[in-house]
Structure formats: C-alpha cells, structure tokens
A and B are shown apart, each in its own frame.
Chain A
Amino acid sequence: MTSSTETIHELANQKYKYGFVTDIETDSVPAGLSEDIIRLISAKKQEPEWLLEWRLKAYRHWRTMAEPRWPKVDYPTIDFDRIVYYSAPKQRPKLDSLDEVDPELLKTFEKLGIPLEEQKRLTGVAVDVVFDSVSVATSFKDKLGELGVIFCSMSEAVREHPDLVRKYLGTVVPYTDNFYAALNSAVFSDGSFCYIPKGVRCPMELSTYFRINAAGTGQFERTLLVAEDSSYVSYLEGCTAPQRDENQLHAAVVELIALDNAQIKYSTVQNWYPGDEQGKGGIYNFVTKRGICAGVNSKISWTQVETGSAITWKYPSCILKGDGSVGEFYSVALTNHFQQADTGTKMIHLGKNTSSTIVSKGISAGKGQNTYRGLVRIAKSATHARNYTQCDSMLIGDRCGAHTFPYIEVNNNSSQVEHEATTSKIGEEQLFYCRQRGLSEEDAVSLIVNGFCKEVFRELPMEFAVEAQKLLGISLEGTVG
C-alpha cells in the first residue's frame, strides 16, 4: 500500500541523512528560554528597542501562565526548556534533478497535480533560470509596489516599516491572550507582513510562495495583515504538498485588521506531518488566529482545510467591532490514524447589525478525534446581530470520534442565532452504490467526502480548491477496506 503517511514518514527519515546538524549549530541559540535568549534573538535580528521590550514583557507574562489543558486533545507534557527558540532558516541540500528525489514523494506530487517546476522547488532541486522563483517573485513585487501594497517578511517590515508594525502588532492578539500567543510574542522568528493601502483592490492572490526568503517554515511564525479603508485582499497560506519539519511544536500567531469597508479573505491549507500510523511523531500545531473588523461594513473571511499535524488547536476568530461588519469561517478538518483536532472559531459581535456565518465540516477516520469548538458572543451593544452556524461531522469506520462544543452567549433581544449540527457515517450502501457504478473504493470515499465538504471548498480560490480536493482523497487513502 502506498499511503501519503508512509511517504511523509520516509521523507522525515530521509531528511536526517543529509546531516543538518552542522547547519543548525552555526546559527542557532542554546535550548531553553530566558531573558538573555530573547535579547540574543532580538539582537541577531537587529531589532529596535521597543520590540525587544515587547518581547520581554510577553516573556515575563508567559512565565506566569499555564499550558492550556481544556482542549479535547491528549499529548505528553512539553518540555519548554528543551526547545531551541531560534535558528536561522536552513538551506535544504540542492539536488541536481528530480531523479534523486524519493519516487514515493513524486507519486504524491503527481496525484496532487503539482507542476514539475513546483515539484523541483518543493524538493530542493535546483531550478533553471527561466523558472527561478526569485525572478518571478521580483516581478510580482514590482507590480504590487506600484499599487503601494507592502508584502514582505516580518523581519523586513520591522526594518522598513517600523511605524506600521508598531501601530498594529499585538493589537488583535495581545501577548497576554493565551499561553501560546505569549510564547510566540516572546520568541517569534519571522513571518509575513502585508499592508493594503486605502482603496486598493489587490489584483492577485497573495501567497507566501511568492514572498522572497520564504524558505523554511518558522516554528513561531507571526503574520500581520492590515487592510485600509475600502481595500480588498485575498491571502493564501500553506501548501497542499506534504510539509515536514523537525520542530514538533508550532505556535503561530496571525492578526488581521480590516478598516472601514475593507475585505480580507484568508485561506489556509495545512498539511504538516501528522505522525505515523501508530501515532508516533507529528507536529503540534497550536495557533492563534484572529481578525478584527475594526471599520464599518468591513468583512473578514477565514477558510481553512486542515489535514495535517498530529494535534491541531486553532480557532480563527473575528471581532466584529464595526457596525455592519461581517465575519465568516469555513472549515474542513480531517483526522486520520491517531490525529487529534480541536478547532473552530469565535465570533465576537460588538457592532450593530453585524453578521457571522460558520460552516464547519469535521471528518474522522482511523482512530482520529475531531472536535468542533465554537463561540458566538453577541454583546449588548450588538443590536440586530445575526449568526448562522452549521456544524457537520462525518465518521469513517468505528474507531474514530467526533465532538461538538458550541458556546452561545446572547446579551440583547434583537439578535438572531441559528445553530445546526449533523453527524453522519459513510455508509456501506453509499460505497457499494458508487462501486457498482465502476468507481474504485478509494475514489468512492474521496467523492463522498468531497461532496460533504463542498460548501467549504467553494469558498477557496479555484486552484486551491482543486488541490484541496485531491489532498483530501490522498489523506483518506486506506481508510476503508
């Protein structure tokens, strides 16, 4: 059997063959966390004093906090003294051609329909001049520059646009917010910064793929996205290709700010190493994502497809402060083998006539555990607010679990809240029906699951949606029969 898990596992092992250890030693700090380490990180990044102070405040606050244990996930206690909190982005070994790449990985790429040049980039094969992603990225950046759009790494933003960063950093997710947000604020290594000026409709989907120096996923990423009045941006994060990383703990923070009449569409496809079929290894993905609709009639829309990680803990949320603002959350979370996900959203209605929509699709297979946890809070001030929540779970096999924890708080009597929830099982009859029409068992499962997720996929940008559908099929291989 060829499963994506095996592929990833083989890769994970393979990586060590090349001996990264020496690279790491040349530019990393000792394990563990202290004020000195934070000063060292800040110094290495040549940061201004205010940012160092902010990191230190976050660190001091973090020390007073306890690891959250309320999520419905189970994992051994993390030893935070053994984590290395800073290491410069590493170079992967350059290969000369795709022939040197693990054929199993290439098979996965083929199934995902990833173009050849993209395959080379992902596997670290040297790309010829014509397709050099840096040159593509440069022309891309020129075009954005003409419109005044800033799209760069967080480090670059701190250097080049300190006032903007200082004005907005930590305003949506303060360092006091939660354990992992505090940790991220203290030690974040890099991330993305994006600024859309007033009245600009960003003409292309911004993807981290096009950001120069995007190589290497940071363990503690920080993303800040500001959309000025009447602007629009669609942002893509992540990648459907299997991603591996030697860092087990990932604690990113994403902050979105939408001013008057601005719209932000934020799409994520997350496919990190989920651990092997026995549940060993895999990434812990503890993320804080939040956006504020600060201006009137602004809109923030989160769409996520989560198929990777051993443990997912994330609640992309919207604070609907501006009158008439709109928050949306569309999610597909799949857990297979021993994966666990506790995910959902928070919609905090503060402004008048605010509305929010939540569509969550959870799929559990193998011994996967999938939890939807969502808060809809309607403040007294949020008169005539509306929320619609639809929360569907699908079970494949009889050893997995689906759980739903909706929290609803309504503090006025002019608002409307609707909640619908269903749980279904992929039926033997559905499978037999598809197979009787000539579909293989795996194609049948993929078809049924993709039908189940349709409402979410149609929110994704076109190419991303096609890839996400294929990814779901691959992630489900071997779940039946």
Chain B
Amino acid sequence: MLKVSNLQARVDGKMILNGLDLEVKAGEVHAIMGPNGSGKSTFANVLAGHEAFEVTGGTVEFEGKNLLEMEPEERAWAGIFLAFQYPVEIPGVGNTYFLRMALNAIRKARGQEELDSVAFMKVLREKVKLLKLRDDLLKRPLNEGFSGGEKKRNEILQMALLEPKLAILDETDSGLDIDALKIVADGVNALRDGTRSVIVVTHYQRLLDYIVPDHTHVLYKGKIVKSGGKELALELEEKGYGWIQESHAA
C-alpha cells in the first residue's frame, strides 16, 4: 500500500529525515517510535503533504501512485488521514458542518453521492455512539475551546467518519488519560478490517497495549534504525531509547 524509499526532508533548512525506508502492506498496523526530535512528526506531516516540510530526496508510493506529487486534499481523497498532534481551532465553523463538508468532499472525489444533512446525521450518530462520545462536541465550533482530550477524540471521530485507507496517528496519545486512550484505541481497532492500514506515531508504549502493532520501528536522526514486532515496543519501554542512541553514536 505504502512504500517509502530513502525519504529525505528538511524544514527551515535543517535536515530532519535522512533516508527513511518503510513499507506498509494493506491491513497492517505499524508503530513508529523514537526519542524527541527524531523526525516522527515530520514523517507524518510529509506523508500528508504539509508544505512547510521540503522533500529533498527519495520516493513515496501510495497504491502505486507518486504521493509526493499530490496536493494535500488529493492525498485525503486517495484515503490518507492524519490525526493531528495539535488540531487547530477554526472559530465560527460548526463541527458538524465541517465534518459533513469533509465527508462530502471526499465522497465527491471518489465519485460517490454526497450525503444530505439527514443521511449524514444518521451516519454521524452511529460513529458517535460507536466511539462513546458526547453529543455536545458536535454542536460546538470546530475545536474551539475544546480541551486537549476533546480535540484528540474529535480527530478520532473524523477518522471514523472518513474511513481512510491509511490512517496516520501523530502522537494522538500524548496528554490523554486512560479513558480517552481507550476511545482512541477503539476507534483505530474498529477501522482494522484486514485492508485498512495504520501508522501509529508515538513516544510511549502505553497506546500499543490497546492498539497492538504488527511491526514496530525505531526512528532515530531521521532514519529507521531498528524494526521488529510488537515486542520491540516493550523492550523500548523497558530500556528507554538510550541503548539505541549508544549503538548509533559510533
């Protein structure tokens, strides 16, 4: 599904990704871990097409297409979803209105019929119920005045609604209490149907207790320096990142 080869990217003239390789097959969940500043968020944003990050080398293929040539909205239409680390507030724009616009934009791009408000509300209510969210999130302006946890839950609601082929979670677990963490995990697990893939970018192992990855990778200085199964995450939790840094200091 996703094939990243020798990806290099910089921001403000500083190289952040230095030849990253990764292959994600349909239905797989990959965890990307690493110390602060290793390039995890940069990688997530580059996949989604953020213009502040300049790709200087390498290739990214998504379902056989050159992802790097696509605009951010084209990537969304193709099925890439990024759950933001810091979701932005958009004052005056109703959350429900935004969700419907987003879903219809994607449906339209995929040649599906757009949903009217009645049909949309039905779909939305199901998702809200599935994720055990409170209705009042829907009535408020998009992310405006939301607590950190509410913002993250709203990201997961959007993900559930848009049903992406590849969901990228950028430190969605940071700052969440255990209940919110379970909601996030439930949302992701509900998406797992053997064809959809997930990249979980995280600093800590605890989210991976709930979202069990097929593969775990350690990102360090803009490269994947170690890959393994779910047990690698536990090993990192136990030993910290120090031993990886030491083995690459040489």
- Give A residues with C-beta under 8 Å from B: 427-430, 432-441, 443, 447-448, 450-455
Contact = CB atoms under 8 A, between A and B. Distances in A.
Interface string B99-112: 00111011001000
Contacts of B84: 433, 436
A439 B52 contact: no
Majority SS of interface residues in chain A? helix
A253 to B, nearest CB: 34
Given A437-B102, A441-B71, 13 more contacts: A428-B51, A430-B88, A432-B51, A433-B87, A435-B49, A436-B76, A437-B105, A438-B162, A439-B101, A440-B105, A443-B101, A447-B93, A451-B142
A71 B166 CA distance: 54
Contacts of A453: 92
Interface of B: 48-52, 71-73, 75-77, 81-82, 84, 87-88, 90-93, 98, 101-103, 105-106, 109, 141-142, 158, 162
9 contacts: A430-B90, A432-B48, A435-B76, A436-B81, A437-B158, A438-B77, A440-B73, A450-B93, A451-B141
Contacts of B158: 437
B77 A436 contact: no
A438 B92 contact: no
B11 to A, nearest CB: 13
A438 B98 contact: no
Contacts of A438: 73, 76-77, 102-103, 105-106, 109, 162
Nearest to B86: A429
Contacts of A441: 71, 73
Tell me which of A427, A432, A438, A443 has the highest count of chain B C-beta atoms within 10 A of its own C-beta. A438
A447 B90 contact: yes
B72 A436 contact: yes
Contacts of B77: 438
B92 A455 contact: yes
A452 B141 CA distance: 11
Tell me which of B50, B71, B88, B142 has the highest count of chain A C-beta atoms within 10 A of its own C-beta. B88
A453 B93 CA distance: 10
A448 B93 contact: yes
Given A437-B162, A440-B73, A447 B87 contact: no
Contacts of A448: 90, 93
B71 A435 contact: yes
Contacts of A451: 90-93, 141-142
Nearest to B158: A437
**Nearest 10 pairs of A and B residues by beta carbon:** A451-B92, A451-B93, A437-B102, A438-B105, A454-B92, A435-B72, A438-B76, A438-B106, A435-B73, A433-B88
A436 B48 CA distance: 7
A438 B142 CA distance: 16
Nearest to B80: A436
A436 B106 CA distance: 10
Contacts of B101: 437, 439, 443, 447
B102 to A, nearest CB: 4
A448 B73 CA distance: 16
A397 to B, nearest CB: 15
